[in-house]
């Protein structure tokens, strides 16, 4: 894939999440690995998601230098998080970091994400957790974060938010959407103050296998639908 397409799709991801109201003013960030060399694209610090266009994206080296877009600055926490993941996980091409109220609420729950909905079952035994450590401002924090992520593509940052990754931008979006729905549902379920029904372990294992192997190119079909949805807004 050429970088022009990567930049276009990354800016579309920002706009989709803005339309779904899953952004947090200027405080969260999405990125995609560049096809050129050891670098990635991320938006300039200070933009809202709906403002992101391909020509505004920064290209940042894995050691933190701005290679394109030097007139702008990136969020330092964005580099620490995204740079660390790209350095250690060659299989990951896109990283989304969010903190919606529902995701933060579940990240603060002692039991974390519970398998009480089909959305949540996408992550059964497929989600990591990372202890809160203030703002991610140094590379040692990035190293600990990647260690906790392990081989997973999704992680809850306790008391903070989430990281959802993908082999493609579309896959990262797929995990992001389902995680948000799962966390929103868990918050609603807990608010009823009634006992929760949890499927058996065998059912949970069968469900996560079925859900993640239901179709190839995970997230591609949904991505095309979202593009049709936001295109009139562009």
For 121-178, what is each residue's pLDDT tens digit? 999 999 999 997 755 556 678 889 999 999 999 999 999 999 999 999 999 999 999 9
Q: Are 98 and 105 in contact (CB under 8 A)?
A: no
How high is the pLDDT of residue 134? 54
Bridge partner residues of 165 (DSSP): 95
Average pLDDT over residues 196-208: 96
Residue 158 · residue 132 · CB < 8 Å: yes
Contact 186, 120 (CB under 8 A): yes
pLDDT tier, 232 (very low <50, low <70, confident <90, very high otherwise): low
Beta-carbon contacts of 40 under 8 Å, excluding residues fewer than 6 positions away, are 31, 32, 33, 34, 59, 60, 62, 82, 83, 86
Contact 35, 2 (CB under 8 A): yes
Residue 27 has pLDDT above 80, yes or no: yes
Q: What is the pLDDT of residue 147?
A: 94
Sign of the CA dihedral with 81 first, then 82, 84, and 89 last: positive
Least confident of 69-83, 185-199, 204-218: 69-83
Is the CB of residue 92 less than 8 Å from the CB of residue 32? no
Element (H, E) at 115: none
pLDDT (tens digit, 9 = 90+) per residue, 28-65?
A: 999 999 998 899 999 998 899 999 999 999 999 998 88
Give the DSSP per-residue string, 15-66.
HHHHHTT---TTS-EEEEE-SSSSEEEEPPTT--GGG--GGG-EEEETTS-E
In percent, the amount of the chain with pLDDT more than 70 equals 95
pLDDT at 216: 86
Judge whether 176 and 226 are in contact, CB under 8 Å.
Answer: no
When pLDDT is cut at 50, 70 and 90, the band that residue 1 belongs to is confident
The reported pLDDT for the residue numbered 71 is 73
Q: Return the minimum-mean-pLDDT range out of 20-34, 90-104, 121-135, 192-206.
A: 121-135
Query: Are 85 and 155 contacting, i.e. CB atoms less than 8 angstroms apart?
Result: no
Mean pLDDT of the chain: 92
> What pLDDT is recorded for position 108?
96
pTM reported for the whole predicted model: 0.93
Residue 36's nearest CA partner among 62, 71, 10, 11 is: 62
Residues 157, 24, 54, 72, CA torsion sign: negative
> Strand 128-130 and strand 154-157: pairing?
parallel
Q: At CB < 8 A and 24+ separation, what contacts does 60-65 make? A: 61/37, 62/38, 62/86, 62/87
Can you give the pLDDT at residue 138? 62
CATH number of 3-227: 3.40.225.10
């Amino acid at each position: 894939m050429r970088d022009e397409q990567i930049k276009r799709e990354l800016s579309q991801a920002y706009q989709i999440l803005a339309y779904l109201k899953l952004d947090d003013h200027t405080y969260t960030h999405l990125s995609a690995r560049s096809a050129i060399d050891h670098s990635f694209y991320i938006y300039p610090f200070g933009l809202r998601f709906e403002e992101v266009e391909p020509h505004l994206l920064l290209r940042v080296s894995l050691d933190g230098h701005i290679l394109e877009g030097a007139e702008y600055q990136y969020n330092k926490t964005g580099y620490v998080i995204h740079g660390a993941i790209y350095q250690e996980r060659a299989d990951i091409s896109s990283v989304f970091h969010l903190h919606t109220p529902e995701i933060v609420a579940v990240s603060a729950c002692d039991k974390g994400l519970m398998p009480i909905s089909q959305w949540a079952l996408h992550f059964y035994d497929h989600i990591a957790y990372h202890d809160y450590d203030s703002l991610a401002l140094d590379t040692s924090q990035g190293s600990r974060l990647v260690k906790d992520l392990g081989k997973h593509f999704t992680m809850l940052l306790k008391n903070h938010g989430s990281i959802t990754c993908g082999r493609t931008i579309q896959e990262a979006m797929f995990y992001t959407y389902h995680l948000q729905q799962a966390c929103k549902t868990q918050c609603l379920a807990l608010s009823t103050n009634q006992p929760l029904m949890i499927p058996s372990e065998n059912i949970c294992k069968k469900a996560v296998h079925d859900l993640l192997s239901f179709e190839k190119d995970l997230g591609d079909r949904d991505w095309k639908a979202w593009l049709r949805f936001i295109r009139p807004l562009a």
